[in-house]
Amino acid sequence: MKLQPFLTLFLATSALFAQEHSHQSSRTLVFPDVPGYKTLKTDLHQHTVFSDGNVWPNIRVMEALRDNLDVISLTEHLEYQPHAADIPHPNRNRSYEIALNEAKDHDLLIVHGSEITRQAPMGHSNAIFIADANKLLKDEAEESFAEAKKQDAFVFWNHPAWYAQSPSGNPVLDDFQKERIKKGELHGIEVINTVDYSEESLALALENNLTIMGTSDIHGLIDWDYVEKGHDRPITLVFAKERSIESLKEALFAGRTVAVFNSLLVGKEENLVPLLNASLQFEEAKYINNTSILGITLKNVTSSDLIFENQMPYTFYSSSPVFTVPAGGTKTLQIKTLEKKADLKIKLKALGAYTAPKEHPIVTWDIRLEE
């Protein structure tokens, strides 16, 4: 075999492999930082073949890189092990170890986590920032939660509205969860799990001061379960003081989160309003010719469509009061201010965002107008 053709083939194959392994994607999730905090894009509920998922842990790392995430956790079921005959692993930390090794050369944080899996009323909960998953495997659920607290874990209640867990489709805060909250063993709750948004879970979060979470709970491939169906994966935006595991943990315990799924954003007002404020930029604001109609261009710097309704005393020219600023795109409004102004307060209701069941935040921006 001649060396030159072989070398050419080798270099071409290597270049192709490097391109495939670069994790470049057109589906990247993008959200801005907010004043005082870094916005970390996280998916803290995922599965692999080390419980009931269908992929090896390194695939989860690659998917996260393609989606431009900052943090993931592989939360394998401790008790439910349907692949145990094919993949026996007495060490319940193994999935985390493989993912950590895959991510070591990439800019992705891996949080050590596991899922405590019991029948109702205990249900399913994720414990993250754990030290040893094996020690969480206990006979009684109360013992597992106590061990998670001993390891200083952040614990959140998974899919409480799941019909297999609650046949009515509404979450039930049982005495078990009440006791966990009282003992400081339950800190968060999923209001978005897969494609389901539960208003009732949001109400429980607000009533019990639980951190609001959104997760993919992925078992198959992100491409198959979300992208090919026209969806982004659900995520939790965490507002951390810096990009580190320690800062992420502090922010989750403090409740600084917004759950996101496509154009749906759910969070406490103090977290959601600053995010929405930072999500729109005003590229141009000037009056049209010799009229008192103000043309103003809004740019959406996120990967979510943002839906608004006009709340100003002024109406729009050639536009509905309800409008969408597309992800990464712009929308030009023509505002009838009746007289020319030097500055203007833009006031909009964010219809795709919820601070409580059926409650949308009002967001304002003070704009200096061009001469």
Q: How much is the pLDDT for 167?
A: 86
The answer on 200 and 75 residing in a single domain is yes
In a domain, residue 128? The reply is yes
pTM (2 decimals)? Answer: 0.92
Inter-residue contact 247 to 11 (CB < 8 Å): no
Contact 122, 176 (CB under 8 A): yes
Residue 14 in this model has a pLDDT that exceeds 50: no
Looking at the fold, whether 256 and 284 belong to one and the same domain comes out as no
Residue 327 placed within a domain: yes
pLDDT of residue 165: 82
Stretch 79-91: mean pLDDT, rounded?
92
Asked if residue 145 belongs to a domain, the reply is yes
Q: How would residue 1 be classed by pLDDT, with cut points 50, 70 and 90?
A: very low
354: containing domain: 280-368
> Nearest 5°: phi and psi at 305?
-60, 140
- Measured CA to CA, the distance from residue 34 to residue 149 in angstroms comes to 30
pLDDT of 6 reads 45
Residues 168, 257 share a domain = yes
- Strand ranges (E), the chain: 38-46, 71-77, 109-117, 124-128, 154-157, 188-193, 196-197, 211-215, 235-240, 257-261, 264-267, 280-287, 293-300, 306-310, 322-325, 330-336, 343-350, 353-354, 362-368
Does residue 278 carry a pLDDT above 50? yes
Share of the chain above pLDDT 70, in %: 92
Indicate whether 131 and 203 sit together in one domain: yes
Count structural domains, the chain: 2
Shared domain check, 253 and 307: no
Whether residues 37 and 139 fall in one domain: yes
**All residues at 6 or more sequence positions from 323 whose CB lies less than 8 Å from its CB, including other chains:** 307, 308, 331, 333
**According to the model, what pLDDT value does residue 23 have?**
59
What is the pLDDT confidence band of residue 323, given thresholds at 50, 70 and 90?
very high
Structure confidence at residue 225 (pLDDT): 96
Residue range 289-304, pLDDT digits in tens: 989 999 999 999 999 9
Separation of alpha carbons 108 and 222, rounded Å: 17
CB 279 within 8 A of CB 301: yes
> Rounded to 5 degrees, what are φ and ψ at 206?
-70, -40
Summary mean pLDDT of the chain:
93
Q: Checking DSSP bridges between strand 293-300 and strand 38-46, what pairing results, if any?
A: unpaired
- Mark whether 230 and 313 lie in a shared domain: no
With a cut of 50, say whether residue 8 has pLDDT above it.
no
Kindly state whether residues 33 and 71 are assigned to the same domain.
yes
The verdict on residue 268 lying in a domain is no
Quickly tell me which residue has 């999500």 as its tokens.
279
Q: 83 and 128: one domain? A: yes
Same domain, 220 and 292: no
Q: With respect to residue 270, please indicate whether it lies within any of the assigned structural domains.
A: no
- Residue 352 belongs to domain with CATH number: 2.60.40
Identify whether residues 68 and 138 lie together within a single domain. Answer: yes
Tens of pLDDT, residues 333-369 = 999 999 999 999 999 999 999 999 999 999 999 998 8
Query: pLDDT tier at 22 (50, 70, 90 boundaries)?
Result: low
For the cut 60, the answer to whether the pLDDT of residue 169 exceeds it is yes
